[in-house]
Amino acid sequence: MCLAGQGNISRRLQSITKSDVTHVQYPLDDFNYQITNLAIDMRDGIRLTKLVEILSGRDDYSQHLRWPAISHTHRIHNLGIALTAIQNERINLCADDGTSVTADDIETGVREKTFLVLWLLISRWKLPRYLENVHLRNEIRILKKLLSIRKKKLPAVKVPTGSI
């Protein structure tokens, strides 16, 4: 049972095992997810969607992406999938001023909104894991002590006025 010199290995394996050997490779399997420029690389929505999948432990969002994302509508579609995935994880995409992050904001390269989305992802998944490992009890105790000192009223000091 040697397969040396076989051109189509699946045909030979099918004759041996009596089962079909299939493999499907999607275009995004060869995609380079490395981020080199944050302002540009997040605009197509593919990397953001993959980031949400990795952090949430799901893998069903990428199958809806359009690749290659060469047009504005493809990028907006991909970013819509990414933002919907973020909202499905119960993350509120609103800034402090009340404006919400849209796919068009990220596609046009609004850095503040892109950073907001990334910060919301980090604070949702990675920050709690980091804070579990940091011993904050001592710092919290010190801060509570300082706060209680500031809340205490200082004794009233009477300064005599009058002639000497």
**Mean pLDDT (whole number) for 100-111:** 90
pLDDT at 11: 78
Is pLDDT of 150 > 80? no
User: Which domain does 88 fall in, by range?
Assistant: 33-149
- Number of structural domains found in the chain: 1
Helices 72-88 and 46-56: angle between axes, nearest 10 degrees: 20
Instruction: Give tens-digit pLDDT for 116-148.
Output: 999 899 888 877 666 666 666 677 778 888 877
d(CA 51, CA 53): 5
Kindly report, residue by residue over 53-87, the tens digit of the pLDDT. 988 888 889 889 988 888 999 999 999 999 999 99
Q: Does the structure show a pLDDT above 70 at 164?
A: no
In-domain check, residue 20: no
pLDDT, mean over the chain: 82
Higher pLDDT, 141 or 91: 91
Asked if residue 10 belongs to a domain, the reply is no
Is pTM beyond 0.75 here? Answer: no
103, part of any domain: yes
Residue 108 maps to which CATH number? 1.10.418.10
**Which DSSP string corresponds to 82-125?**
HHHHHHHTT---B-TTSPBP-HHHHHTT-HHHHHHHHHHHIIII
Check residue 135 and give its pLDDT: 65
Residue 12 inside a domain? The answer is no
In a domain, 24, yes or no: no
Pair of tokens at residue 160:
């005599």
